[in-house]
Amino acid sequence: MNLAYAKHMFVLGPTVEYGPGVHKNIGAVAKGLGSTKALIVTDPNLVKSGVVEKVAAPLRAEGLQVEVFEKVVSEPTDLFVHEGAEFLKKTGADLVIGLGGGSAMDCAKCIAVMAENEGHLTQYEGAAAEFPNDKKAALITLPTTSGSGAEIAGWSVITDSARSYKMSFGSPYLEPGYVFVDPELTLELPRKPTVYSGMDALSQAIEGMLSVRRTPISVALGLYAVKLLSENLPKVYSHGWDLEARSNMSIGSFLAGIVINTSGCISVHALAETMGGLYHQPHGLLVGLCLPHVLEFLLPGDHELLAQVATALGANTAGLSTFEAAKLAIVRVNQILDECDFPFLTQVGLKADDIPQIAQLAMGNVCTSDNPCTMTEADYVAILNSALADNRPLN
């Protein structure tokens, strides 16, 4: 695809404040929105660690009442969304705040929308989810991981408890109105969630650049995101209190979020989301482990763009053909997985017997249609067989 001649639409919506300490401005912003009562949607660990209070204090200082829905767990289901929507209606809050990783922010978006819409969340599944009632409480997001990019996206991923299947929802009504990207809120994130969410962000930047919906803007943002994330992921893995590295991760994952909000993800996420529903492993772990196998599969068709990705990943591509340079993107991804002590897919659940089912379910994932080449079940089987035979050296 020649991006110079293609027609594009690029969506830039919310107001964004970025930098260490910006979360302290949330009270003034909420008051400016006319809010009197806020509901913070978060997970119990952030209540215990004091991060929720860091956000609640400036809200109270501006005279707002604050309620907390702290039941979000990793890989949240439709049941949490409906419980949260009922809680929101009961409290009468006029502002919903998604505070946490992608799970909390995705839940917050769906809670705000489902409090105003009839029926069950599952009936709205899809890339163009149509919610009849577009009125909802104001929505603010604050990420406490550097990963999902959910803070900026008009997307949510929620597991259907009945099918153990991750549903994707895409709608402008899911997009927050205001975002605080504050690296201080990520400082206490433990090592494993740090690298799993960071690898999710890195993959999202790469996937958005390879997607059939890529634009010159998403490629530009994606390349810088890949550079920031790949340079700093090993640093925050070994030194979690390095604020400069955490800041670079925050901006990198935010940029990756902008990239996928317009360009979407591809078959890496289709596979990882499918396996997440089956194996209940962290999303970023599965994404990271799928990434090199999908890149290997795409190498023959996308080597020019992958060569640029390899350079952004820090590979020395001087003097190489684009194909040889592109191969280094896969080498670099595997190096980063090793540096951050990622296991193999077989160690987190992948079994030969499951491959036909995973391939079939991945075909139905919304990310499959954005893959740069048309995917078949046989293609997914080939990628999964490559993962099954993985011999990436471990540290």
Q: Which residues bind Fe ion (CB under 5 A)?
A: 200
Tell me how far apart the alpha carbons of residues 202 and 295 are, in angstroms, rounded to a whole number.
Answer: 13
Integer-rounded Cα radius of gyration of the chain: 20
Closest CA to 80 of 167, 145, 155: 167
Q: How far is the CB of 256 from Fe ion (least distance, A)?
A: 9
The H-or-E segment that residue 139 falls in is strand 138-143
Give me the helix-helix angle, 322-339 and 191-210, nearest 10°. Answer: 160
- Report the residue number, 52 or 271, with the smaller CB distance to Fe ion: 271
Residue 77 Cβ vs Fe ion, minimum distance, rounded to whole Å: 17
CA 301, CA 299: separation in Å to the nearest integer? 6
Minimum CB separation of residue 120 from Fe ion in Å reads 24
CA 192 to chain centre: 16
* For Fe ion, the closer CB: 117 or 203: 203
Report the nearest approach of Fe ion to the CB of residue 59 (Å).
29
Between 136 and 269, name the residue whose CB sits nearer to Fe ion: 269
Least Å from the CB of residue 340 to Fe ion: 16
Greatest distance between any 2 Cα atoms in the chain = 64
Beta bridge partners of 165: 160
Q: Which residue is nearest to Fe ion (CB)?
A: 200
How near is the Cβ of 174 to Fe ion at its closest, in Å? Answer: 15
Report the residue number, 58 or 198, with the smaller CB distance to Fe ion: 198
Distance of CA 253 to the CA centre of its chain: 8
User: What is the spatial distance between Cα 157 and Cα 167, in angstroms, rounded to a whole number?
Assistant: 6
Question: Reduced to 3 states, what is the DSSP secondary structure of residue 98?
Answer: strand
Q: Which is nearer to Fe ion, 106 or 184 (CB)?
A: 106
Nearer to Fe ion, 166 or 332 (CB): 166
What is the C-alpha to C-alpha distance for residues 234 and 245, in angstroms, rounded to an integer?
9
Q: How far is the CB of 342 from Fe ion (least distance, A)?
A: 15
Q: At closest approach, how far in Å is the CB of 189 from Fe ion? A: 16
Element counts in the chain: helices (H) and strands (E): 13, 8
Please state, in angstroms and as integers, the Cα–Cα distance from residue 301 to each residue in 6, 127, 323, 372, following that order: 19, 26, 10, 8
Q: Give the tokens for residue 51.
A: 């991060």
Q: How far is CA 293 from the centre of its chain?
A: 19
Nearer to Fe ion, 58 or 100 (CB): 100
Q: Are 69 and 39 in contact (CB under 8 A)?
A: yes
Beta carbon nearer to Fe ion, 285 or 307: 285
